Structure 1
Amino acid sequence: MEFREDILGAPYEAAELPLRRDAEGEVSATLVRRLVPGSERAVLYVHGYNDYFFQTNLADHFTALGFSFYALDLRKYGRSLRPHQSPNFVRDLAEYDEEIDEAVRIVREVDGHRQLLLNGHSTGGLVGALWAGRRAGRGLVDGLFLNSPFLSMPTAPAVRTVGGPAVTAIARLSPTRVLPSSLNPHYTHSLHKDHKGEWDFDLTLKPAEGFPLFAGWLAAIHQGHRQVRRGLGIDVPVLLMASTASIATTKWHNALHHADGVLRADDIAAQGPRLGRHVTIVRIKGGMHDLVLSGEAARTQVFAELDRWLAAYLPVDETEAVGEHA
């Protein structure tokens, strides 16, 4: 493993993480990092669906607090997607455990950080929460920050009850069958500076129309949601943030700049207590789906709430403080 300058440029570095082959051939993930020299605190960010790491304002905030910043582009996403692969495709969300485990090993054992926060957005929030539940009791992470985690399908309960088993049956027979996608291109347009947003990112890695929606991937999401409803037993403090409002629209609407245009924020908040026994739920007025890319007032609130929670539940390691005063 070798870190080289990332596509974002210095001070970001990236390294390829080789993983076990699957039915499509060679597989790898990508670990991006921005180190804070001498820091023993770190955060590991996991992106959402149809996404990759580009949120440098998030990294700026964490590094200003003294955290080394790491981000994973999961297998078949963003920097890790290869021509022979079906974009974003897995048959079980537990497949991502391999790259998360390896990233955590590098952060802790190779780079020597003693305190680690796992930060997941949208599907990355679901993936990270499931991983943390499976790894409970091992002391691998000290807390979770979940930004609009994908804990529930943005449909009525009756539709989920019927749709989940149907998708699972299709996936069992034809996991790479392409299903009709409800991805709203206006959400990406609300973010990108060339459309109606303020952010710059690669539209080939995060296309507005998205990638094909595979039955196997959607079945894996339904399975993950069932696990959430049963309870995950995460044994570290969790900060869950969601917008105060959602919008479902197939046309452009200015409310996309002030609400979650992808998921149902109320449903996200309702599932929060099932994650573990120590969950803080914060609703962000005017928040977009990716809360850290919201308008200035909303993202200022996001970072203020994050700082307050970090001070309470992930303070500077006491052994560091002792060393400073010894």
Structure 2
Amino acid sequence: MPAANAYLPDVLEGFEQLFIEQLADYEGPVRCTLVRPQAPPPATGRAVLYVHGFSDYFFQQELAEQWQQHGFRFYALDLRKYGRSLLPHQRANNVRHLGEYFADLDAALSQLQAEGARTIVLNAHSTGGLIAALYADGGTRRAAVAALVLNSPFLEMNQPWLLRRVALPVITRLGAVAPNFSLPARLPWGYGQSLHRQHHGEWDYNLIWKPIEVFPVNFGWLRAIRQGHTRVARGLQVQQPMLVLHSARTVRRYHPFSDEYFGADGVLNVQHIRTLAPRLGPQVTVCAIEGGMHDLVLSRPEVRAEVYRVMFGWVQQALPPL
């Protein structure tokens, strides 16, 4: 495994980061970044590894605090070409197969185990949820994962049937020969505006790493996502217990901004999650959160409280007692 450097102070106050150099790819040098609180961890062998979503990075400090308060050492992973890991020569989010992320998860899980983690929960959001499920199905170190908690996993494109069934298969084929051809990402700006405090939200984060208008995508990335979705549709065999959380409803019409984004998923179709989540494995619990946003832990305070109640209640039952 490529060597890792020492932890350094992170951009988030009270956290530190570890750059992990990975093997170079078609764009050149590659790294991922592990983030953890600077405060001493709970005296337990339990840990959680958080994986962010698309056009995203780790900044959810409250989530870290909740895991720590419930007896878990908290770690977050900024995947290659996202957030802290994005290098000047790289195109943001640019991969050609979701399996490229498996090396990042391998390295992170190995580091957690080296630091004393014995029972590891994989907690992932949106595209990270898709990657985490695929990794738990076939990743090299998947046996290190005791359970998964997926927050609005990206299991299908939220696009009209004709686009998903006709246009996307064509783009998938083109992605094999023209992976760098880029398209603007078709995600609603209103969702980002509902999050950041410069607009209508309560959260502060780096708008270069998580822009309101999300990064463009290319044919290679769309091909990688389509291949991942196809595997999910056919069924995975993740053996670990898994909790899949999602909002109770979807924003049906995209707006520049609307209060609807504060109480529904403004990115994904929650019916897709309901339908596809049981195909991830034999031990899947699916739970709808009334009033939840796309990233459930960024919802309004009373909704976040319910998310944490459900999440940690399930974790307590899913894991063996300390």
Q: TM-score, normalised by structure 2?
A: 0.95
CA contact (8 A) 1:234 1:276 kept: yes
Write the letter of the residue equivalent to 2:18. Answer: A
Q: Given the alignment, which residue of 81, 84, 104 partners 2:86?
A: 81
Question: CA separation in 2, counterparts of 1:180 and 1:210?
Answer: 8
Counterpart position of 1:18: 21
Structure 1: gaps of 5 or more residues = 318-326
Aligned ranges 1:1-326 → 2 under 5 Å: 1-10=5-14, 12-34=15-37, 36-108=41-113, 110-135=114-139, 139-247=143-251, 248-317=253-322
Q: Residue 136 of structure 1 contacts residue 235 of structure 1 at CA under 8 Å; is this kept in 2?
A: no
* Cα offsets for 1:48-94 (capped at 9, x unmatched): 00000000110010000110001010000000111100110000000
Deviation of residue 309 (structure 1)?
0.2
Question: Runs of at least 4 residues of structure 1 off by over 2 A?
Answer: 135-139, 156-159
Deviation, 1:173, is 2.0
Q: Is the 8 A contact 2:189 2:257 kept in 1?
A: no
2:279 aligned partner, one-letter code:
R
SS at match of 2:84: helix
| 2:189–2:256 Cα contact (<8 Å) kept | no
SS at match of 2:110: helix
In the TM superposition, what whole-angstrom CA distance separates every residue of 1:104-133 from its partner, at most 9, and x where no partner exists? 01101x101110000010000000000000
SS at match of 2:91: coil
Mapped partners of 2:22, 2:279: distance in 1: 31
Note closer, same or farther for the CA distance 1:202–1:19 as it changes in structure 2 (3 Å cut). Answer: same
- SS of residue matched to 2:275: helix
CA distance in structure 1 between the aligned counterparts of 2:317 and 2:273, rounded to whole angstroms:
23
Q: Which amino acid aligns with 2:171?
A: V
CA deviation vs aligned residue, 1:226-260 (integer Å, no higher than 9, x gap): 00011110010000000001113133111110000
Query: What's the offset of the Cα at 1:210?
Result: 1.3
What is aligned with 1:323? none
Secondary structure, aligned partner of 1:142: strand
The RMSD of aligned alpha carbons is 1.3
